[in-house]
Amino acid sequence: MSYHVTLPRLQCAMDVYLIQTSILFCSLICGLGAPNTADKSSPNIVIMLMDDMGWGDLGSFGQPSKETPNLDSMAAQGMLFPNFYTANPLCSPSRASLLTGRLPVRNGFYTTNAHARNAYTPQEIVGGISKDEILLPQVLKKKGYVNKIIGKWHLGHRTHHLPLEHGFDEWLGAPNCHFGPYNNSDRPNIPVYNNSQMVGRYYEEFEIDKKTGESNLTQIYLKEGLDFIFHQAKARRPFFLYWAADATHAPVYASKRFLGKSQRGRYGDAVMELDDSVGQILNSLRDLGIDKDTFVFFTSDNGAALMSGPKQSGSNGPFLCGKETTFEGGMREPAIAWWPGHIPAGTVSQQLGSVMDLFSTSLSLAGLNVPEDRAIDGLDLSPVLLNNTHVNRPIFYYRGNEMMAVRLGPYKAHYWTWSNSWEEFNQGIDFCPGQEVAGVTTHTQQEHTMQPIIFHLGRDPGEKYPISVLTKEYQDALSRITPVVVKHKNGLVPGLPQLNMCDLAVMNWAPPGCEKLGKCLKAPKSQPWKCDWPH
Amino acid sequence: MSYHVTLPRLQCAMDVYLIQTSILFCSLICGLGAPNTADKSSPNIVIMLMDDMGWGDLGSFGQPSKETPNLDSMAAQGMLFPNFYTANPLCSPSRASLLTGRLPVRNGFYTTNAHARNAYTPQEIVGGISKDEILLPQVLKKKGYVNKIIGKWHLGHRTHHLPLEHGFDEWLGAPNCHFGPYNNSDRPNIPVYNNSQMVGRYYEEFEIDKKTGESNLTQIYLKEGLDFIFHQAKARRPFFLYWAADATHAPVYASKRFLGKSQRGRYGDAVMELDDSVGQILNSLRDLGIDKDTFVFFTSDNGAALMSGPKQSGSNGPFLCGKETTFEGGMREPAIAWWPGHIPAGTVSQQLGSVMDLFSTSLSLAGLNVPEDRAIDGLDLSPVLLNNTHVNRPIFYYRGNEMMAVRLGPYKAHYWTWSNSWEEFNQGIDFCPGQEVAGVTTHTQQEHTMQPIIFHLGRDPGEKYPISVLTKEYQDALSRITPVVVKHKNGLVPGLPQLNMCDLAVMNWAPPGCEKLGKCLKAPKSQPWKCDWPH
């Protein structure tokens, strides 16, 4: 299907939003004269979460192509974090952690079907985000924030798991990955929602040309973001925009204007379009005069998906391996904070940060407390952001139900190592292409709990040189790390695992709104099974 | 030997230069009233060449520690080159190429003792830079430039090979690497020269504490550079300063103020001190009001020496392997050009550049022509620098007498692959630690001349994914590269190889000036042999 055919269809799909947005706009205009109930000190919050974008994909993080001028400017005007981590080397758990401030093993975004397995939310998953979890937008509502998610949700696609059930006021995007196209007979194409109603499906109303890589999705998401910001600014209501574009997840896509423009091929085209979008969003904040009232954070959900090959994945810079692994390439993320007049421009923070900190930090900036009835793993980084201070804290690297590694200061201790199984590896699935560190990038699950493998990430960011256990340095590092791990494990109450059960009947056969579009499909009979998570 | 003992000795050695510098200063003061014979349009030229510093060692090139604020500022005020190459993955040939504008295979800095071997100038080498070669300072003299080299020469240590025999007016530094200490009975310590006289030896008057890593050498080189700049500025004479500090070559060293300051250990300490020195040099140009009259270029001689391990070597960022190899990690260099008011600030040039271009570009900026009686490989990059234009040109990757690879646009074709021999590798010498690309990082010399291995360096900077020979992309790339290679090979007249013969008798037993210091040693009888270059 070529874009000559599909562009009008995309345009059509876009028109639907424009009409709906206009309705929203009218309703907001009516409120213009109303009193602003929000605390004026609460800044707007924009979290831009990329999909499978790697640490090394930004010029300011060392991408040789240097094709991200807007993000590099953002860093020059804000604070850059070279030591920022996701909570999991995979999409769904990472996103659940960002919005709950809690490790996946607490918020339920993991599996116990097998040891140390990466699990996520394909459309056959039965589970999703629990109503027992408290999400960032739910708390922000207490201060009158209008909350919108644009793009990928990935916390479960069944109706009770969707964003508007969990604190978001608006949504344009999809619940699952944009894999496909599917045949709609034994597997439906992924729906795209506007708020709580399906408005089309990927590869149908929302075209992605896998052959050419063309899709207008990023432009749709950009326009939706700009409209939302415009309307909230005019309404003078504080807002939380969670902008979760997914163009850098395979199948990678870009719109026509960007295709072929990068030195890096299609993946680089997608990065350029996202960089351009970031620039437009920051510019709109400036133009609307709310840049000094808006905290913006840019990061990614996990490391570059190296197993997708050079045409469909990004760069993890000097780090080891990528997505799916607990090596640095799997979990260290590009990260930039921006808030003119508040965050000192052009600074680099060596603070160890986590996507979970975005929960605690956003609440702190909004003048809200984190929930006190549960363990929260995210830290409030506002002192770091506003005064460039530093807080000692560990980073835990989980794979499913297992703490694989921990970082404290410059030291990282691996208690378990695994890249992927020999079986997968021999089929050509490689999470560490071109990299091999003996005894580290193991193809069997190797336990090192009695004597962890320790690296100094300052002089060895690529995790290539295990520190000899015979050295004082090793013993000193271990003696500092051990009590941190003991404390963490002793205090850990795992949540109910949400990613254990699968069922073809729960797939996106008939999402709400399908009737109006005539796009309902018939679900097969329920036959649940324990999902198989191979790595 | 601790620094408590050695610092006074260093101070003593420094005093010698201060006295000598004062004499020079007086001689220049006398000339202050004299007419300025130089063309006023000729800018001063400062080339800062680092030793074994890798592409990934600078914050602006992606070093996670982000500890090079002065170099990052230099980039923000100047032009950054992410695609800049050395002419050889080893020190001596690279430096010979920088100063002659010619490939090592032309200027004689290679060996024919075995195929595709890295050769350099240890102190048993008989050869060095030939009097038949024309060096940059020799040509600059035509325009009245005062030429000084500070630091490592490495183009031969026998008297007729030394800098003042080849166009430099002044020198403070050493002819060879600062390996050691040696015992002075079967191997002399390396001499340090002031101009054409030895003024001491490493590990004797010029201490390097290998245990603590402390040495004041960078501070000595910095002060010497600042003094030189000051005196030339006051004398209003155009100058060429070739600042070739070697703190990042193993054994890595830093002065007390910087030791322990980096997140990266001693290597990072050395980088921080060099970064600080760069900042001081640029500041002095500003303070003297000659920043707009001075073209400054920062780069390195070859990739990070990964075989030296994480405590003694740097980072090649996302690139494959390091020093000694013709993969990107061996030859792609950090590079920044700075010339306020002339080079547009904050630009990134995608131009493929080479250290050999510094020869042609410097001459062009000085209003001089390159020699017309010989092949010059360096390009004049002044249009790139001044107008951000772009020139198509190939990069040739040589190892000794063999063209191993060529880059044209984003494509790199490997005609020969070799990391190092199994014999060395099995001894633990590893040029590609933690990296292994099947069929690429080979431990035997593999010929691919009939069907080169081709990479797209834009989407695959790490040379991990050879393009299938069955694709149109491969055929298109090869059809463009082949005529370039044929032309290059047809036009190549190799120079007389200078790095074939070794002899213990030629070592630094009795350098000029040793008598005054009572530091002459007795040379053994001459017994020349064909040097063994194992990799």
B237-280 residue pLDDT tens: 999 999 999 999 999 999 999 999 999 999 999 999 999 999 99
Task: Give the B window 372-431 contacts with A, CB below 8 Å.
Answer: 410
pLDDT at A304 over 80: yes
* Whether the Cβ atoms of residue A121 and residue A156 lie closer than 8 Å to each other: yes
Question: Do A65 and B82 count as a contact with CB atoms less than 8 A apart?
Answer: yes
Alpha helices in B187-327 (DSSP H): 217-235, 266-287
What is residue B7's predicted lDDT score, i.e. its pLDDT?
33
3-state secondary structure A177-243: CCCCCCCCCCCCCCEEEECCEEEEEECCCECCCCCCCECCHHHHHHHHHHHHHHHHHHHCCCEEEEE
pLDDT at B127 over 80: yes
Q: How much of chain A exceeds pLDDT 90, in percent?
A: 92
- The beta-carbon neighbor of A458 closest among B265, B309, B434 is B265
**Candidates A57, A58, A66, partner chain B, best to mutate (most B CBs within 10 A):** A66
A449 DSSP assignment: T
* Whether the Cβ atoms of residue B129 and residue B135 lie closer than 8 Å to each other: yes
pLDDT tens digits along B274-286: 999 999 999 999 9
* Whether the Cβ atoms of residue B172 and residue B152 lie closer than 8 Å to each other: no
Amino acid at A484: V
Structure tokens at B74: 């230099």
Q: How much of chain B exceeds pLDDT 90, in percent?
A: 92
Rounded to whole angstroms, how far apart are CA atoms B252 and B209?
Answer: 10
Residue B296 phi, psi dihedral angles, 5° rounding: -120, 135
pLDDT band at A26 (very low <50, low <70, confident <90, very high): very low
- Chain B residue with minimal CA distance to A65? B458
Structure tokens at A33: 């004269």
Non-local (6+) Cβ contacts of A508 within 8 A are: A123, A157, A175, A176, A188, A189, A190, A191, A201
Structure tokens at A42: 């609460």
Place of tokens 């003024």: B199
DSSP A466-511: PPPTTSHHHHHHHHHHHHHHHHHHHT--PPPPSSSEE-GGGSSSS-
Question: Do A65 and B458 count as a contact with CB atoms less than 8 A apart?
Answer: yes
What is residue B14's predicted lDDT score, i.e. its pLDDT?
39
Q: Is A52 annotated as a binding residue?
A: yes
What is residue A11's predicted lDDT score, i.e. its pLDDT?
41
Q: What integer is the mean pLDDT of B394-413?
A: 98
A50 DSSP assignment: E
Q: What integer is the mean pLDDT of A383-409?
A: 97
Q: What integer is the mean pLDDT of A379-391?
A: 97
* Whether the Cβ atoms of residue A228 and residue A241 lie closer than 8 Å to each other: yes
Structure tokens at B360: 């042609």
What is residue B456's predicted lDDT score, i.e. its pLDDT?
98
* Whether the Cβ atoms of residue B129 and residue B498 lie closer than 8 Å to each other: yes
Structure tokens at A201: 């499906």
Rounded to whole angstroms, how far apart are CA atoms B23 and A111?
Answer: 77
Amino acid at B478: L
Q: Give chain B positions within 8 Å (CB) of A61.
A: 62
What is residue B41's predicted lDDT score, i.e. its pLDDT?
76
- Chain B residue with minimal CA distance to A328? B64
Secondary structure of residue B86 in the 3-state scheme: coil
Rounded to whole angstroms, how far apart are CA atoms A99 and A187?
Answer: 29
- Chain B residue with minimal CA distance to A435? B435
pLDDT band at A199 (very low <50, low <70, confident <90, very high): very high
What is residue B53's predicted lDDT score, i.e. its pLDDT?
98
Q: What integer is the mean pLDDT of B319-342?
A: 98
User: Residue B115 catalytic?
Assistant: no
- The beta-carbon neighbor of A464 closest among B61, B66, B434 is B434
Q: Length of chain A in residues, anyone? A: 535
pLDDT at B27 over 80: no
Decide the pairing of beta strands A170-174 and A146-152.
Answer: parallel
Q: How much of chain A exceeds pLDDT 70, in percent?
A: 93
Amino acid at A429: I
* Whether the Cβ atoms of residue B116 and residue B330 lie closer than 8 Å to each other: no
pLDDT band at A21 (very low <50, low <70, confident <90, very high): very low
Question: Do A268 and B80 count as a contact with CB atoms less than 8 A apart?
Answer: no
Examine residue A534 and say whether the peptide bond preceding it is cis (omega within 30 degrees of 0). Answer: no
What CA–CA distances, in Å, run from B355 to B164, B300, B362, B390? 22, 9, 11, 17
Rounded to whole angstroms, how far apart are CA atoms A145 and A40?
Answer: 11
B468 DSSP assignment: P
pLDDT at A7 over 60: no
* Whether the Cβ atoms of residue B93 and residue B105 lie closer than 8 Å to each other: no
List the single range of A9-18, A155-164, B165-174 with lowest mean pLDDT.
Answer: A9-18
Q: Give chain A positions within 8 Å (CB) of B83.
A: 64
Q: What integer is the mean pLDDT of A329-336?
A: 98
- Chain A residue with minimal CA distance to B348? A66
Give the closest residue to B535 by CA, choosing from B369, B353, B323, B343.
Answer: B323
Secondary structure of residue B244 in the 3-state scheme: strand
Q: How many C-beta neighbours within 10 Å does residue A266 have? A: 23
Segment holding B447, helix H or strand E: strand B446-447
pLDDT at A162 over 60: yes
Structure tokens at B2: 């601790």
- The beta-carbon neighbor of B268 closest among A65, A310, A458 is A458
pLDDT at A23 over 50: no
What is residue B17's predicted lDDT score, i.e. its pLDDT?
41
- The C-alpha of A409 sits at a distance from chain B's nearest C-alpha, in angstroms, of 10
Non-local (6+) Cβ contacts of A348 within 8 A are: A79, A80, A81, A82, B59, B66
Q: Give chain A positions within 8 Å (CB) of B309.
A: 465
Q: What integer is the mean pLDDT of A133-149?
A: 98
* Whether the Cβ atoms of residue A347 and residue A388 lie closer than 8 Å to each other: yes
Residue of A12, A115, A154, A231 with catalytic role = A154
What is the number of alpha carbons within 13 Å of residue A109 lying toward its C-beta? Answer: 30
* Whether the Cβ atoms of residue B195 and residue B513 lie closer than 8 Å to each other: no
pLDDT band at A33 (very low <50, low <70, confident <90, very high): very low
- Chain B residue with minimal CA distance to A315? B318
Residue of A4, A91, A160, A488 with catalytic role = A91
* Whether the Cβ atoms of residue B298 and residue B48 lie closer than 8 Å to each other: yes
What is residue A418's predicted lDDT score, i.e. its pLDDT?
98
What is residue A5's predicted lDDT score, i.e. its pLDDT?
29
Amino acid at B408: L
Rounded to whole angstroms, how far apart are CA atoms A252 and A248?
Answer: 5
What is residue B19's predicted lDDT score, i.e. its pLDDT?
38
- The C-alpha of A93 sits at a distance from chain B's nearest C-alpha, in angstroms, of 25
Give the closest residue to A469 by CA, choosing from A442, A449, A485, A451.
Answer: A451
What is residue A41's predicted lDDT score, i.e. its pLDDT?
76
Question: Do A456 and B310 count as a contact with CB atoms less than 8 A apart?
Answer: yes
Q: What integer is the mean pLDDT of A163-179?
A: 98
- The beta-carbon neighbor of B460 closest among A310, A456, A465 is A310
Q: How many C-beta neighbours within 10 Å does residue A447 have? A: 15
Q: What integer is the mean pLDDT of A97-106?
A: 98
Question: Do A318 and B320 count as a contact with CB atoms less than 8 A apart?
Answer: no
User: Residue A443 catalytic?
Assistant: no
